[in-house]
Amino acid sequence: MTKTAPPPAASPFQRLGAMLAAIAPGKSAIDLTVGEPRHGVPDFVGPVLSASLADFGRYPPIKGIPAFREAVASWTEQRFGLGTPIDREDGVLPLNGSREGLFYASLHAVRLEAGSKGERPAVLLPNPFYAVYAAAAEAAGAEPVLLPADRSTGFLPDVAGLDPSLLKRTVAVYFASPANPQGVVASLATWIRLVELARQYGFWLFADECYSEIWRGEAPAGVLTAADRLGGFDRVVAFNSLSKRSNLPGARCGFAVGDPAFLKSWATFRNIAAPQVPVPVQKLAVAALADEAHVVENRRLYDAKFAAAERILAGRFADLTPAGGFFLWLDVARWGGGEVVAERLWREAGVRTVPGAFLSASDATGSNPGSDFLRVAMVESLETTEQALIRMAEVFS
């Protein structure tokens, strides 16, 4: 079942702030809401920026410097095992973080498909969803259509099972893997089917892969691997960033990789409408993408915190550790649901978390797929995370 998504009136964190504004924390506050990595930045950050200070004195090229495009293309080809080379001239674009790119991509997709998808084209997004997806569809004048991504669908949206009449008027599909907030990873077979549908029905597949390097077990498959298997990158754009991979959310540096025709025309549009990425930040990205040691260490730190969660919250939750990402997605229905538990954790334990309903929208029956859940960002130090988990365990007991 699908439903048109309402335009976001406020971010989940603004809604949470309003809900808890009049409530004093029961203990010293620990904030586990925003997905902002708080591990240390890599050692090379300072030297790279210091060596590039003069570059702040000139406007950056909207398409990025050649070294940036080469670094992104080379990393992507190696990481996702591509046989088809990434187009170094038109197949890569720098972004001011993946969020900015995910927003502008829908605007450009609707511009490209104007008139070919009916009076009001559709943009499909998972439910729960990253709020920028719905905001982008709304700003582009498209209909944001929610696709259930709950337990019944394996926490990923089922695009293949949709009515062909909807797919025919679809301009773009947002699909995240590892998913935020659930942490589920799409299989290569799932990506292949999505790429096939994108080409069959002529929509753009926007793959949000900003958590692709935060995983347990084995590295997640990517949309570009699937596209490569099917002969090239037509109709596919993958979005990623340095924020999660390299603990650099403040750098605001991301990138889009994929269909060179889309990205070439988008670069022309962005040259008028979007901000450039500073050259020193692009050079920082070159250094970051050339180094995997800090990424491996980053995963180790997250693994330690999930191991702590398994130990401290033992017996209270099933499937506690996700395949990817750095969130706990806790089913707290037995304690009253996400909003009740978020308020209680703040009031009694001083732990700030996000109700799942704030990351979702109600479906056609009035049911919200996130209402039973709570999102916990495992971004603090191990010591602080353990302290928060111990407090949570006391409340859940």
For residue 382, the domain's CATH number is 3.90.1150.10
Residue 341 and residue 244 share a domain: no
pLDDT for residue 4: 66
How large is the average pLDDT for residues 128-157?
95
At 5, is the pLDDT very low, low, confident or very high (cuts 50, 70, 90)?
Answer: low
At 327-357, the pLDDT tens digits run 999 999 999 999 999 999 999 999 999 999 9
pLDDT for residue 243: 98
**CA-based nearest residue to 32, from 375, 331, 364:** 375
How large is the average pLDDT for residues 386-390?
98
1-15, 95-109, 205-219, 289-303, range with the lowest pLDDT: 1-15
pLDDT for residue 366: 85
pLDDT for residue 364: 75
pLDDT for residue 363: 78
pLDDT for residue 118: 83
CATH number for position 213: 3.40.640.10
**CA-based nearest residue to 305, from 374, 248, 380:** 380
Of 234, 259, 289, the one marking the end of a domain is 289
DSSP state of 177: S
pLDDT for residue 119: 82
Distance CA 396, CA 385 (A): 16
323 falls within a domain = yes
210: pLDDT strictly greater than 90: yes
**CA-based nearest residue to 134, from 34, 237, 3, 231:** 3
283: pLDDT strictly greater than 90: yes
Residue 362 and residue 283 share a domain: no
At 2, is the pLDDT very low, low, confident or very high (cuts 50, 70, 90)?
Answer: low
Of 289, 309, 339, the one marking the end of a domain is 289
168 burial (CB, 10 Å; 0-12 / 13-18 / 19+) is middle
At 80-95, the pLDDT tens digits run 999 999 999 999 999 9
pLDDT for residue 114: 77
Residue 80 and residue 24 share a domain: no
Distance CA 345, CA 348 (A): 5
Distances from the Cα of 17 to the Cα of 7, 131, 132, 234, 312, angstroms:
19, 16, 19, 42, 27
pTM of the predicted model over 0.85:
yes
At 3, is the pLDDT very low, low, confident or very high (cuts 50, 70, 90)?
Answer: low
229 falls within a domain = yes
For the chain, what is the mean pLDDT? Answer: 96
pLDDT for residue 319: 87
pLDDT for residue 187: 98
Instruction: Annotate 199-248 with DSSP letters as a single string.
Output: HHHT-EEEEE-TTTT-BSSSPPP-HHHHHHHTTS-TTEEEEEEHHHHTT-
Of 241, 266, 289, the one marking the end of a domain is 289
1: pLDDT strictly greater than 60: no
Distance CA 2, CA 11 (A): 22
Residue 356 and residue 266 share a domain: no
Residue 319 and residue 244 share a domain: no
At 177, is the pLDDT very low, low, confident or very high (cuts 50, 70, 90)?
Answer: very high
Range of 182's domain? 45-289
1 falls within a domain = no
pLDDT for residue 8: 57
At 263-274, the pLDDT tens digits run 999 999 999 999
259 falls within a domain = yes
Structure-block tokens of residue 390: 């111990």
Residue 172 and residue 130 share a domain: yes
Residue 257 and residue 283 share a domain: yes
2 falls within a domain = no
How large is the average pLDDT for residues 194-212?
98
7: pLDDT strictly greater than 90: no
Distance CA 277, CA 69 (A): 12
> Do the Cβ atoms of 248 and 277 come closer than 8 Å?
no
